Structure 1
Amino acid sequence: MTGGQLMAEAERRLGAYWTMTRSQVYRELPVLAERGYLRLGKPGPRSSQPYSVTASGKRAFGKWLAEPAGKDQVRNPVVLRTAFSSLMPKGEKKDMYEEAVSYHTNSLAEVREQAKNAKKEGDEAGATALDFAVGYHKAVLAWLKTAK
């Protein structure tokens, strides 16, 4: 896959609970190739560069999966702004919460559908990960009901 294809697949599969940027993907691909984890394919149209995973890359990925996961990093921009909301005009704060409710309501519907489709396709691991996103959006919506 090319960097663009990898980014699209990662967004489809992981985007409900993990964020990444195109610059991260394009920055890491040459590093992974240099370490022998990826193999460069034949360049395609518009200088697109496909990559494939090597046996060494598969072993490194397996090793990474076995490592301790580490601490979560919670980054919610509405919660961050809420910490400073005493400096916001009331109308802006209300608008921020309304936008957040709309966003999380729509996102909840999307991830529920994704989880349902993953289960239909037999992707239990993917469905279980998406259950986290369902719970996250539910939790944020519950918090937004009490936020002042």
Structure 2
Amino acid sequence: MDNLNATAATLLGFLHTGEASGYELLAIAEEVVGAFWTVTRSQVYRELAALAERGLVRAGDTGPRSRVRYNITEAGRDAFAQWIATPPGPEQIRYPLLLNIAFGGHLDRACLLFHVDQHRTVHQARLRSYQARLESAGIDPYERATLAFGIRYEDAVLAWMDDLPAILGPADEPPAEKQDPASREGSG
């Protein structure tokens, strides 16, 4: 059997706890992994159809609002077990604010810091949410470990944001001229 992609495996992981519709799976994904793994509506329905075609999930009858509930099959449990036992690849940071920072020399400093402040609000809210969930009853050690990472990540991002004005230097200092990438090729 060919390997699962991470989104398909995520859906199978959620289906271990019981049947769910695509709509419900999307809501679960947003709550449980949404802060660090993006799952879109189109991906959920595309993957559910592919998983059903491969015999890894079984589609039930169409219910209210044309929602179909899915159950994981034994083949799906086996495929998930193979996927979860495979070492994960390295993380990839995809943080749009970092693109603005990387090219910040082309942007008014006040505008750049405004973007940072908008992101700060999001990270502060996420940190409070993680802390509240960590204090709630009934979370297993794996969710506790995931939340602990999230809390440390948010703390680190907020500390970095606090340090940004000093890192960027005085507001009236022009950004240093950057070397032309073409001239770097011949200098190695």
Which of 112, 127, 130 is the matching residue for 1:111?
130
Q: Deviations over 1:3-62 (max 9, x none)?
A: 000011111221232221111111111001111100010101222111110011011101
Q: 1: distance between equivalents of 2:26 and 2:153?
A: 23
**How much has 1:122 moved relative to structure 2?**
4.2
- Are 1:86 and 2:85 an aligned pair? no
Q: 1: distance between equivalents of 2:84 and 2:21?
A: 23
Tell me, yes or no, if the aligned pair for 1:85 and 1:93 is still in contact at 8 Å: yes
Q: 1: distance between equivalents of 2:87 and 2:141?
A: 22
Among the aligned pairs, what percent are the same residue? 38
Q: Which residue of 1 aligns with 2:140?
A: 123
Structure (1 or 2) with the larger CA radius of gyration = 2
Which of 33, 39, 43 is the matching residue for 1:24?
43
Q: How does 1:35-50 map to 2 (within 5 A)?
A: 35-50=54-69
Q: 2: distance between equivalents of 1:145 and 1:108?
A: 15
Bigger proportion of residues as helix = 1
Q: 2: distance between equivalents of 1:122 and 1:110?
A: 14
Q: Which residue of 2 aligns with 1:73?
A: 92
Q: 1: distance between equivalents of 2:139 and 2:151?
A: 18
- The higher-RCO structure (CA 8 Å, 6+ apart) is 1
Q: Which amino acid aligns with 1:55?
A: E
The 3-state SS of whatever aligns with 1:108 is: helix
Tell me, yes or no, if the aligned pair for 1:40 and 1:52 is still in contact at 8 Å: yes
Regions of 4+ moved over 4 Å: none
Give the structure-2-normalised TM-score: 0.74
**How much has 1:116 moved relative to structure 2?**
2.0
**How much has 1:137 moved relative to structure 2?**
0.7
Give the structure-1-normalised TM-score: 0.93
**How much has 1:67 moved relative to structure 2?**
0.2
Deviates more, 1:60-69 or 1:45-54: 45-54
Tell me, yes or no, if the aligned pair for 1:17 and 1:132 is still in contact at 8 Å: no
Q: Which residue of 2 aligns with 1:55?
A: 74
- Are 1:9 and 2:32 an aligned pair? no
**Matched residues, number:** 146
The 3-state SS of whatever aligns with 2:68 is: coil
Q: 1: distance between equivalents of 2:67 and 2:97?
A: 37
